[in-house]
Amino acid sequence: MTQIAVDRYAVFGHPIGHSKSPRIHAAFAEQTGQAMYYEAIEAPVDDFAGAWRAFVERGGRGANVTVPFKQAAFALADTLSARARLAGAVNTLQVGADGRVHGDTTDGIGLVRDLVAHAAPLEGARVLLLGAGGASRGVVEPLLEAGVAALTIANRTVTKAEQLAELFADKGAVDGCGFEAVTGEFDLVINATSASLAGDLPPLPERLFREGGMAYDMMYAAQPTVFLRWSAERGARTVDGLGMLIEQAAESFWLWRGVRPETATIRESLRSEL
């Protein structure tokens, strides 16, 4: 009997037991007829590079990378996509035929595709991005490229927001400020902070959304996050980050396999399992 070779992929994180990535990529592989195996690997906080090398020695072809290892993945990549270099972070690694490791980030395109799927206001929109950490770095450029008219980055530490805005100043109208300095109303407000994980809410003004505005939280759960509940009470349409997770995974899958999977079915399936 002929044995079919199976390519190995993984997601690295710490912790990682909660990850839905193995479930998503198994569904993509079945849908597209790809012979691959995808696992979750909890790497030591202080030795991501060692865990990656051990995975490659076992035949690993590529991986997704989540917190807290996106900057470490950036550092170990031999080559970087333009978007990863600008973001300063990598969430997708790929081992080339020559053994060199290529780093990319699919977070931004995953976010924008999910926003488009939900008919979010983008072209000509005034957008507020909450947070200036790693989750924000990879999405600023794709948001500007999607045609937003003005992007404000708000963060608890003002200098981090200002520095991130300056990094992308040549890409469009973007500015940084503290939460307390947010003024005016927005077509779209994106929560990229980790506050939702703790059930907290960034300090925000009561009047935040224009009529028909949308609130988007990169986090997701069975019930709406505190940010989405707060936004809905103020008249905003709300969307969580489950679709972003699936869309960024689909982009990684395409980079690895050259096949673009359909995402609507897995989105419905995962939603029903929350």
Does 134 count as an annotated binding residue? Answer: yes
Does 46 count as an annotated binding residue? Answer: no
Does 91 count as an annotated binding residue? Answer: yes
Does 105 count as an annotated binding residue? Answer: no
Does 20 count as an annotated binding residue? Answer: yes
Does 59 count as an annotated binding residue? Answer: no
Q: Is 171 a catalytic residue?
A: no
Does 241 count as an annotated binding residue? Answer: yes
HEC letters along 132-173: CCHHHHCCHHHHHHCCCCEEEEEECCHHHHHHHHHHCHHHCC
What does the alpha-carbon distance between residue 129 and residue 132 come to, in Å, rounded to a whole number? 8
Q: What is the longest distance spanned by two Cα atoms in the chain?
A: 68
Tokens for 186?
Answer: 């927005």
Catalytic entry in 25, 61, 70, 102: 70
Does 66 count as an annotated binding residue? Answer: yes
Does 220 count as an annotated binding residue? Answer: yes
Pairing of strands 92-95, 60-65: antiparallel
> CA 252, 266, 102 angle in degrees (round to 5)?
5
Does 21 count as an annotated binding residue? Answer: yes
Does 37 count as an annotated binding residue? Answer: no
Residue 245 amino acid letter? L
Tokens for 42?
Answer: 């909890």
What does the alpha-carbon distance between residue 130 and residue 193 come to, in Å, rounded to a whole number? 6
Q: How far is CA 74 from CA 58, 69, 194, 226, in A?
A: 21, 9, 21, 32
On the question of a cis peptide bond just before residue 224, with omega within 30 degrees of 0, the verdict is no
Does 218 count as an annotated binding residue? Answer: yes
Does 184 count as an annotated binding residue? Answer: no
Within 8 A by CB and 6+ apart from 56, the residues are 95
Does 107 count as an annotated binding residue? Answer: yes
Which residues define the annotated binding site? 19-21, 66, 91, 107, 131-135, 155-160, 218, 220, 241, 248
Catalogue the active-site residues: 70
Which residues define the annotated binding site for NADP(+)? 131-135, 155-160, 218, 241
Which residues define the annotated binding site for shikimate? 19-21, 66, 91, 107, 220, 248
